[in-house]
Amino acid sequence: MEKYQEIERSIIKKYRKDIWAKFVKAVVEYELIKENDKIMVCISGGKDSFLLAKCIEELEKHGKFHFEVHYVMMDPGYSKENRELIESNAKLLNINLEIFESDIFKIVSDIDKSPCYLCARMRRGFLYSRAKELGCNKIALGHHFDDVIETTLLSMLYGAELKTMMPKLHSDNFIGLELIRPLYLVKESDIISWKNYNNLNFINCACRFTENISTNKESSKREEVKELINNLRKINDRVDYNIFKSLDNINLDCILGYSKNREKHSFLEFYDE
């Protein structure tokens, strides 16, 4: 049995409950992939996006309906070592990876204010444009369960707003394109376990801007929240699930206000009804 076949087998056998079943549940429950979809899977080079690629590949091969997939990596200016590692992993995992170039890292390296924000926007623009060129109607990203609850707490603690990372959303600037997150219910600890079980080595952060500095404001805030959740897990091992479930269980009778279609509403509007 080839190495890539062993890795594929581990997803549907050893990690059937923790990865495969949760991946399928998200796809079905949130209606992420439908018949005749044309999906561009974005490979960043990390563990999450490569696992996503293998899960979608498995669904494409053995699922109940037909859809088409392109596995795409945009190179924004990776170091030679990181580029080679990504290409090596794609070959090891038997993923037909399409690579296209950009100079995003070079552009944002000269930006002093909010380079990470600009980089993210530019990367998104390049990827959406590529998806349109390929005729895709969906873009799949490797965000997982922990990304969801961390984003939720970041929004509350630093943004004074209750919102989360959605399992899917329509693009505002590219009509007809939809972003999906099929690993939405998969925990990062299980992804790490899968990676270690198969002795895989992926890049962590390939950002040229942050690799030469000790701290980054945005990433340090996320690390703070990650540590907070880990500490809370020691007290209550279901705390992460409870944070996630609360977003699906909001009691509108007991909140001060909310926004819908960018229009703000207060509980006072309905208080005397």
- Average pLDDT, 10 consecutive residues per value, the chain (273 residues): 94 98 98 98 95 98 94 88 94 95 70 65 85 96 97 94 95 93 98 98 70 54 93 95 95 92 93 88
What is the predicted pLDDT for the residue at 103? 72
What is the predicted pLDDT for the residue at 215? 45
pLDDT in tens, 51-80: 999 999 999 999 889 999 999 999 888 888
What is the predicted pLDDT for the residue at 69? 98
What is the predicted pLDDT for the residue at 106? 66
HEC readout, the chain: CCHHHHHHHHHHCCCHHHHHHHHHHHHHHCCCCCCCCEEEEECCCCHHHHHHHHHHHHHHHHCCCCCEEEEEEEECCCCHHHHHHHHHHHHHCCCCEEEEECCHHHHHCCCCCCHHHHHHHHHHHHHHHHHHHCCCCEEECCCCHHHHHHHHHHHHHHHCCCCCCCCEEECCCCCCCEEECCCCCCCHHHHHHHHHHCCCCCCCCCCCCCCCCCCCHHHHHHHHHHHHHHHHHHHCCCHHHHHHHHCCCCCHHHCCEEEECCEEEEHHHCCCC
What is the predicted pLDDT for the residue at 115? 60
Kindly list the domain boundaries of the chain, sorted by start residue: 3-148+161-212
What is the predicted pLDDT for the residue at 126? 85
Q: Which CATH code is given to the segment(s) 3-148+161-212?
A: 3.40.50.620
